[in-house]
Amino acid sequence: MEFPDVGERCSMKNCKQLNFLPLKCDYCLNIFCTEHFHIDAHKCLNFHDNIVHSKVKRSNYVCSDKCCKETSPIEMLCIKCKKHFCLQHRYHGCLEYTNEEKTTKLKKWQIPKKQFAEAKAIVDQQISDNLKKSKNVAMANKVRLMRVKGSAVGPKNIPVNERFYLHVYPPTSISNKHIKPSKGVYVNVNWVYGKVIDSIADTLKISNNNSIAGACKLQLFHHTNGALICNEMDMPITKLCESSKLIDGQSVILEYSDNITVDTSLYK
C-alpha cells in the first residue's frame, strides 16, 4: 500500500524517489534523496555561482595605481592619501619629502648634533687638561720627594719602608741656621698626627709645648696656601694620606699658632 501524501520525491529527473526524510540542498533549496543530495551528485549550479560571487566580493579592492589592476581581499590604505594600494605600489611617493622639507628637517636634525659636538669638545678639553695637570702634579711630587729624601733626617729606628717624608719650614721665631730656611724630615707613616709633630720638633730641636695646657701649640700648615692640615692630634697619618691632606714629600710649615691659617709669604 502506498501513501502518496507522505514524504517528497527526489528532484533528479532520472530518480524521483520518494523520501520520507527528504534532504534539502542549502544552495538550490531543492529536495534530494540520500544518493543525490551531495552538490556534486546533482551538479548544483547555485553552489558554483555562490563561489564565483564570493571570489568577486572578496577581491573588490583594486590598486589605486593607474597602471595596476591588482585586486586584494584586504584593504590597505595609505596613511596620508587614504587610498588603497597593493604591496607592489605601497611606496607610491605619497610620503616622500620635498626638497624644501628635506632641507628644513636636515637643519633641524643638525642642531642637536652640533650641540653635542660642542659639548663633547668642551668635556674632552677638560679631561685633557685634568690629565695633563694630574701628570704634572704627580711628576712634581716625585721630584720633590727625591730631593727631600736626599737630605732628610729623623729617628734612625724607623724602617726605611715605613718612612714618610716632609719638607718642613720651621717657625719664624727659630734662628737655628742648620734648619733654615727648610729641612727634610722623615717620620713613621703609622704614627698619629700629634706624634708626628712631636717627632719633627725633637728632630729639629724646636721647643715643643704641646703637652702643656694653655701654651701656644705647634701646628702643621700647608705651604701652598697656609691652611691648617689637621686639628685632631690622634688622627692617623694614613687617613690624612688617603684624603690627600698629606702627600709623601710635601712641603709643610711648622709654626706656633692657634689660628687656622698662616701667612705663607713669611716662609721662603
For 237, half-sphere exposure in the C-beta direction (CA atoms, 13 angstrom radius) is: 21
Output the CA angle 69-71-77, nearest 5 degrees. Answer: 100
The tens-digit pLDDT sequence of the chain (268 residues) is 455 567 788 888 888 888 787 788 888 889 888 888 888 888 888 876 666 555 544 557 888 888 888 888 788 888 888 888 888 888 877 777 777 888 888 888 888 888 888 888 887 677 666 655 655 666 777 878 888 898 899 999 999 999 999 999 999 888 776 777 889 999 999 999 999 999 999 999 999 988 888 888 999 999 989 999 998 999 999 999 999 889 999 999 999 988 889 999 998 8
Q: How far apart are CA 136 and CA 130, in angstroms?
A: 10
Q: How far apart are CA 201 and CA 218, in angstroms?
A: 9
Give the 3-state secondary structure of residue 23. Answer: strand
Q: Are strands 61-62 and 71-72 parallel, antiparallel or unpaired?
A: antiparallel
Residue type, 30: N
Single out the residue of 251, 185, 171 nearest to residue 218, CA to CA.
Answer: 171
Q: How far apart are CA 139 and CA 123, in angstroms?
A: 24
> What ranges in 152-266 are assigned the alpha helix state H?
193-203, 237-242
Q: How far apart are CA 75 and CA 187, in angstroms?
A: 89
Q: What is the pLDDT, as a whole number, of residue 95?
A: 74
Give the CA distances from residue 152 to residues 89, 118, 181, 265, in Å, rounded to whole numbers and listed in that order.
Answer: 89, 50, 14, 24
Q: Are strands 163-169 and 250-256 parallel, antiparallel or unpaired?
A: parallel
Q: How far apart are CA 9 and CA 60, in angstroms?
A: 41
E strand segments, the chain: 8-9, 18-19, 23-24, 31-32, 61-62, 71-72, 163-169, 183-188, 218-222, 250-256
Output the CA angle 116-118-119, nearest 5 degrees. Answer: 65
> What is the phi/psi pair of residue 195, to 5°?
-70, -30
Output the CA angle 171-237-256, nearest 5 degrees. Answer: 20
Q: How far apart are CA 191 and CA 268, in angstroms?
A: 28
